[in-house]
Structure 1
Amino acid sequence: MRLATYEHAGSVGCGVVQGDGIHPFPDGTTVLDLVRSGLAAALEVGERARQTPPVPLDTVRLLPPLDPPTVRDFVAFEEHVEGVVASVGDGGGVVPQWYEAPTFYFTNPCALVGAHDDVAVPPGSELFDFELEVAAVVGRDAASPTPAEVQVFGYTVLNDWSARDLQRREMKVNLGPAKGKDSATTLGPWLVTADELEPFRDADGFLALDMRVSVNGEQVGQDLLSNMGWPFEELVAYAGRGTRVRAGDVLGSGTCGNGGCLAELWGRRGEQNPPPLRPGDVVEMTVEGIGTIRNTVVAGVDLPPVAPARPRPRRRVR
Structure 2
Amino acid sequence: MLLVDGRHFDLTGVTDDIDAAFLAGGGIDRARAAMAAGDLPQLDVSGVRVGAPVARPGTVACVGLNYARHAAESGAAPPAEPVVFLKASNTVVGPFDEIILPRGSTKTDWEVELAVVIGRRAHYLASPADAGDVIAGYAVSNDLSEREFQRNDSGGQLVRGKSCESFNPLGPWLVTADEIDDPQRLALSSYVNDQPRQASTTQDMIFDVYHLVWYLSQYLVLEPGDVVNTGTPEGVAMSGRFPYLSDGDVVRAGIEGLGEQRQTCRPAA
TM-score scaled by length of structure 1:
0.76
| Aligned Cα root-mean-square deviation (Å) | 1.8
Asked if residue 279 in structure 1 is aligned to residue 256 in structure 2, the reply is no
Q: Secondary structure at the match of 1:35?
A: helix
1:109-258 matched pairs, under 5 angstroms: 109-145=89-125, 146-150=127-131, 151-170=134-153, 173-174=155-156, 176-183=157-164, 184-198=167-181, 201=182, 206-257=183-234
Q: Secondary structure at the match of 2:171?
A: strand
Distance 2:113 2:122 in 1: 24
Deviation by residue 1:271-304 (Cα, 9 ceiling, x = unmatched): xx42111111000011101000000001113xxx
- Other-structure match for 1:105: 85
Unmatched runs of 5 consecutive residues or more in structure 2: none
Q: CA deviation at 1:30?
A: 2.1
Which of the numbers 35, 49, 58 marks the counterpart of 1:61? 49
Distance 2:158 2:76 in 1: 19
- Other-structure match for 2:260: 292
Q: CA deviation at 1:207?
A: 2.1
Which of the numbers 234, 237, 251 marks the counterpart of 1:262? 237
Deviation by residue 1:95-117 (Cα, 9 ceiling, x = unmatched): 6xx12x11210001012111110
Q: Secondary structure at the match of 2:90?
A: helix
Unmatched runs of 5 consecutive residues or more in structure 1: 1-14, 85-91, 267-272, 302-318
Distance 2:151 2:243 in 1: 17
Q: CA separation of 1:218/1:49 partners in 2, compared to 1, >3 Å: closer, same or farther? A: same
- Other-structure match for 2:16: 29
Distance 2:82 2:210 in 1: 11
Distance 1:108 1:56 in 2: 33
Q: CA deviation at 1:20?
A: 4.2
Are 1:16 and 1:46, in contact at CA under 8 Å, matched by a contact in 2? Answer: no
Distance 1:61 1:71 in 2: 23
Which of the numbers 61, 77, 81 marks the counterpart of 1:72? 61
**Bigger relative contact order, structure 1 or 2, given CA contacts below 8 A and separation 6+?**
2
Larger radius of gyration between Structure 1 and Structure 2: 1
Q: Secondary structure at the match of 2:172?
A: strand
Q: CA deviation at 1:47?
A: 4.2
Instruction: State the AA in 2 paired with 1:298.
Output: R
Distance 2:35 2:45 in 1: 15
Q: CA deviation at 1:243?
A: 4.3
Distance 1:43 1:72 in 2: 26
Percentage of matched positions with identical amino acids: 28
Are 2:103 and 2:267, in contact at CA under 8 Å, matched by a contact in 1? Answer: no
